[in-house]
Amino acid sequence: MTPEHASMLLALSSQDAENESATTRKVIAAVPVDKSSYTPHPTSMTAIDLAWHIAVSEVWFLNGIANANFPQEDAKRPEDMKTSADVLAYYDANYGPALAKVKALSGEQAAKTIDFYGVFNLPGVAYLGFMIKHSCHHRGQLSAYLRPMGAKVPSIYGGSADEPFQMAAAS
- For the chain, the C-alpha Rg in angstroms (whole number) is 17
* Phi, psi at 115, each rounded to 5°: -80, 135
The one-character DSSP state at 44 is S
- The domain locations on the chain are 3-149
Q: Decide yes or no: CATH 1.20.120.450 for domain 3-149.
A: yes
For position 171, what pLDDT does the model report? 72
β-partners of residue 123 are: 113
For position 105, what pLDDT does the model report? 98
Mean pLDDT for all residues in the chain: 94
C-alpha dihedral sign at 137, 140, 142, 145: negative
Could you tell me the pLDDT band of residue 42, with boundaries at 50, 70 and 90? very high
State whether residue 113 is helix, strand or coil.
Answer: strand
- Give tens-digit pLDDT for 82-131: 999 999 999 999 999 999 999 999 999 999 999 998 898 999 999 999 99
Average pLDDT in the 44-70 region?
96
Torsion, Cα 60 25 87 73, to 10 degrees, reads -10
Residues comprising the chain, all counted: 171
